[in-house]
Chains A and B, each alone.
Chain A
């Protein structure tokens, strides 16, 4: 199967590979997929608590080239967006941008799931800290 130039570019030069401190209350971590399914994505965001803007995003992915490209692209798109804007990213946007063939659409779905999971985690954590703050 031939890969699109954009998939190849992300595969060869993945953006924002790495890890953020899981324990930081401003960091949200999402991990989706399973090794036995052949893909696992870990996506992290760091949100500025004052502005609600995603200042940093990192990923690591075990999966095919399209899965790597989908998560790499997701981190690029996340940076500078507000949490609400980030929630609006759809897997179909990723499919279009990377020209993914039908058999690789699940990679984009996984990336969307990873974004949502990271935001969920961030929201859970920040509401917990807010409560702690209120009761103190």
Chain B
């Protein structure tokens, strides 16, 4: 086994060596500007870009012409939401999103609120999914866009996207989804799901960082966007800037590999995840955050009561995971996603997110499980809360001297 063990694949993934191989010629041999129409260097680059466009489109059931390249999902989310808001401002000023979205969506919406748009932040149910009736009721004749992520980056919850798409279509409202955690991991089809816009980033599916895409529907309806940067009018005028050809080729190859290997990879990830879950569930007072039913096969998020997350991470410092506890400021803010599920701050502070990936082995999973069990036990020896719990004290009734 090689240390540290990487189990933080929702944060980013290693680039697949096959992706690196596909990219290499585009740094040196085919280094041209894809917009150079009058010589072979440009054509070579353009060929690579168009192949990638097709590979991405194929993975999500789209047409090549509907893929706009960006610098990543933060940009794609900004372009989709601001671009729609500005383009359709005459039609309405209301946007609907959910409380558990990524900051790239939430902060974009907050920005639009300052510009006079009205935003509804839907609460979520205990498993993290939005309530479809609430969504239906929230849509008004002023609503122009619904933005709900495909799968959540902390708890792996897969939203009822097809149902959301159907509701939006019925009501004539555009539907954007942040597809970052889902595309390449589980089957996603923009036609079946009635998705109008979808954000993708390469670095979450074994491609390079700093390159992504936005799917923009061209038919039924034809979606238009206000560009967010002025320039040469690349990408059908929606996103100016010389294309990152090697990055785009890498994103394309990553999508092609994901499409080929998805059934086997999903089964393998699920088996590893379930193995980890089964072992960690033997720890007393451990809880899964979010539901297990509609969950990405490579995600597990658990709380280990009475053990603070950051101290847990310190004890497993040969394992790379992340915690929903952020003890980095005077006001300790636990994860807003976990809080939106209704989790108390105390349990949110004890949460750990595991993200299994293409290069995770069973041996690593067993090591991680054993180490977790050992460290949780050690820290509970140290925990006054564990001592009180064992003495039968009801912690919710204690008057804490908060600072």
Q: Does A80 belong to the interface (CB within 8 Å)?
A: no
Flag A13-41 by CB within 8 Å of B: 1 or 0 each.
01001010000000000011111111111
Q: Is A109 an interface residue (CB 8 A)?
A: yes
In the complex, the number of residue pairs spanning A and B with C-beta atoms less than 8 Å apart equals 99
Once A36-B344, A40-B385 are accepted as A-B contacts, the answer to whether A65 and B330 lie under 8 Å apart by CB is: no
Min C-beta distance of B367 to chain A, whole Å: 19
Q: Which residues of A contact B307 (CB under 8 A)?
A: 62
Inter-subunit contact A33/B403 (CB<8 Å): yes
Nearest-Cβ distance from residue A7 to partner chain B, whole angstroms: 9
Interface string of B313-343 (1 = CB under 8 A from A): 0110000000001011110101000000000
A109 and B330 alpha carbons, distance in the complex (Å): 11
Question: Shortest distance in angstroms between B220's beta carbon and chain A's nearest beta carbon?
Answer: 49
Q: Name which of B98-106, B107-115, B285-293, B394-402 contacts chain A.
A: B394-402
Residues of A within 8 A of B385 (CB): 35, 40, 62
User: Which chain B positions have C-beta within 8 A of A110?
Assistant: 403
The listed residue (B329, B384, B400) touching A60 by CB distance below 8 A is B384
Q: Are B311 and A37 in contact (CB under 8 A)?
A: no
Decide if B387 is an interface residue (CB 8 Å cutoff): yes
Chain A nearest Cβ from B403, distance in angstroms: 6
Please measure, in the bound complex, the distance between the C-alpha atom of A117 and the C-alpha atom of B402, giving whole angstroms.
13
* Number of chain A residues close to chain B: CB under 8 A: 35
**Cβ–Cβ < 8 Å partners of B402 in chain A:** 33-34, 36-37
When distances are taken between beta carbons in the complex, the residues of chain B under 8 Å from A103 are 328-330
Known A37-B332, A38-B327, A39-B332; contact A62-B306, beta-carbon cutoff 8 A: yes
Mask for A86-119, Cβ within 8 A of B = 1, else 0? 0000000000000000011110011001000100
Report if B132 contacts A (CB, 8 A).
Answer: no
| Bound CA–CA A60/B388 (angstroms) | 11
A42 engages B327 (CB within 8 Å): no
B395 and A35 form a contact (CB under 8 A)? yes
Chain B interfacial positions (CB closer than 8 Å to A): 306-308, 310-311, 314-315, 325, 327-330, 332, 334, 344-346, 349, 381-387, 395, 400-403
Task: Report the Cα distance A39→B330, complex, angstroms.
Answer: 11
Chain A residues with CB under 8 A of B401: 31-34, 113, 117
**Is A11 part of the binding interface, using a Cβ–Cβ cutoff of 8 Å?**
yes
- Docked pose: A27 CA to B384 CA in angstroms: 17
B233 to chain A, nearest CB (A): 44
| Alpha-carbon distance between A71 and B221 when the two chains are bound, in angstroms | 62
Determine whether the beta carbon of B311 is less than 8 Å from that of A64: yes
Task: Apart from A38-B308, A65-B314, A104-B327, list 19 A-B contacts with CB within 8 A.
Answer: A1-B328, A31-B384, A32-B401, A34-B403, A36-B346, A37-B332, A37-B402, A38-B327, A38-B345, A40-B384, A60-B382, A62-B306, A62-B384, A63-B311, A64-B308, A67-B308, A68-B311, A103-B328, A109-B403
- B328 partner residues in chain A, CB cutoff 8 A: 1, 103
10 A–B contacts from the bound complex (CB under 8 Å): A11-B311, A37-B345, A38-B334, A38-B345, A62-B307, A63-B308, A68-B311, A105-B330, A106-B330, A117-B401
| B349 contacts across to A, CB distance below 8 A | 35-36, 38
The interface centre, meaning the residue of A39, A61, A64 with most chain B CB atoms within 10 A of its CB, is A64
What B residues does A67 contact at CB under 8 A? 308, 311, 327
Tell me whether A39 and B308 are in contact (CB under 8 A).
yes
Distance between B318 CB and nearest chain A CB, rounded to angstroms = 13
Instruction: Tell me the bound Cα distance from A78 to B334 in angstroms.
Output: 32
User: In the complex, which residue of chain B has the Cβ closest to the Cβ of A17?
Assistant: B382
Whole-angstrom distance between the Cβ of B115 and the nearest chain A Cβ: 33
Distance A32 CA – B384 CA, assembled complex (angstroms): 11
A3 in contact with B314 (CB, 8 Å): yes
Q: Given A3-B314, A106-B330, does the pair A32, B382 have CB atoms closer than 8 Å? A: no
Cα–Cα distance between A36 and B344 once the two chains are bound (Å): 7
* Docked pose: A32 CA to B398 CA in angstroms: 11
